[in-house]
Each structure stands twice: as structure tokens, then as C-alpha cells.
Amino acid sequence: MDRYAVIGHPIGHSKSPLIHSAFAQATGQALTYTAIEAPLDGFAATVDRFRADGGRGVNVTVPFKLDACAYATDLADSARAAGAANALKFDGSRCLAENFDGVGLVRDIVHNLAQAVRGRRVLLLGAGGATRGALLPLLEQAPALLFVANRTVGKAQALVQEFVGRGASAAVLAGGGYGDLGNAAFDVVINATSASLGQERPPVPASAWQADGLAYDMVYGKGLTPFLQDAQAAGVRHLADGVGMLVEQAAEAFAWWRGVRPATADVIRRIHVPLN
């Protein structure tokens, strides 16, 4: 039976085995999927052992997404743009790397939540790895404006310069600090920072929220995070966490490995935690 796994540190919280097992059952694919905790300095050795034991591919979660990029022999554009990989596929001596996080985010917003990105004003918070992975898929949707806001202004501006001219020609990309937002309003506000993990709130100005817009926190399973609480208090009616993004990126990896894309709605409902 074909073997797959997710590798991280820590890994006990991972929903990936549940998700991929559900996908395999629904699509009639014969495979096993397990969780592997690698030592912080032992990612490559852990993958080598898994491959030697017949492993076909792995998902990669924190803190090893940069290590996965360095380990791979062949990088897809998604992994190269993000500078990180969250899925590997083994083909003899070759190791192919993809980053499906941004694709999963866009699919969740556009298909599951029925919120358009094309032609709308999007605010993306943070300038770290999560933002890097999201930028190109968001730009390919041709938003009217995609603004990257970060506490360290220079980091946001440098990141924007890397991606200027990429994606759809209609997309306008800009970046700066939270203070540079002024009184601008946005249709979609995405929190790609780690603030919610520590119950902190990004300093989004009140003027940025739109009542019929979308507030999306990439963190999942934490209920109403401070970011989502602020959006709710500002009257935003559409609130979402990252559970749909998690399942959609998993479906992309599953399709890449197995050649069949599983349906996602039932799995999202199964692991969704109500926002309250």
C-alpha cells in the first residue's frame, strides 16, 4: 500500500491524517497516511528514512517548509515564489516540491465562501512565509488592489518588490506599514500573521473594514480570534478562519500525488470549529 505522511515539530495536533484518510476513503485510493515528528535538526534524515521505507510523498508543516524547499531537487513556481514548500513528491532520485497554501486559501475564499477576489480591494497582513505563499495565487485573481501591511515597513516593501509585475496584469500590488493604510477600506482582509496564536491583534484601523466584506484569519480552530473579534465589532458580516484553506491545500496535494481531486465540503464540515 502506498505510504504518505505529514512531517512537522510538534505534530500531534495535525489534522492531516484525518483529512487524507477521509479523502482516500471517498476516492477509493489505497494508501496510508501518518504523522511524523522530526527532530528540529533532522528534517532531511527523516525524509530520507521515509523514502527508503517506500514513502511516496509528504506534506510539510512548521517549522520545516524552508527545509523542504532546500531538500527538493525540482521546485514548482509556487514553491520558488514562496521560498518554501508544503508538499513533496518522490520520483526515483528526484524530489518535487510544491506550495499549495496560497491555492488553498484562494479556493476557500472564492469557491467555499463565495467571496470574489477579482476586481476587489484586498488587505494582506504580515510579510512572512504565509504571505509569501499567498501572494501569487491572490495576484492571479486580478484584485483591484492587493496591499501588504506589516509592522516592519521595509519588510513589506521588499516583499512587494519581489512580486511586482507577477500575476494578472490588472492587479495592483503595494505595501507598507499599518499607518500607511490611512482611511482606505478593503473588501477582503486576510490575517497571515501569527498574532492569533498568541491572542494578539494586528493594528488594523477601523476604517479598513467593510460591513459586507470578508475578514479571514489563516489560523484555524481558535474560534473568534482577536482579529475576527475586531472585524465583528466593526460590523463585518462574513468571518472565516483557515480550516477551509487547510482542507483545500490538502486536496491539492492529494490530487498531485494520486491524480484525483477529492471533494472537500464534507471534510471541512467535519473538522470546523464554530466561530463563537
Q: Where are the beta strands (DSSP E) in 94-213?
A: 94-98, 121-125, 145-149, 173-176, 188-191
From CA 79, how far away is CA 98, in angstroms rounded? 5
User: Which residue from 221, 224, 219 is spatially nearest to 236, judged by alpha carbons?
Assistant: 224
From CA 209, how far away is CA 204, in angstroms rounded? 8
> 152 vs 148, 149, 175, 179, 200, CA distance in Å?
11, 9, 11, 11, 17
Within its chain, how far is the Cα of 154 from the centroid? 23
Catalytic residues: 65
Q: H or E stretch including 216?
A: strand 214-217
User: Which residue from 57, 50, 111, 102 is spatially nearest to 81, judged by alpha carbons?
Assistant: 102
Phi, psi (deg, nearest 5) at residue 211:
-60, -40
Phi, psi (deg, nearest 5) at residue 53:
-85, 5
Contact 206, 189 (CB under 8 A): no
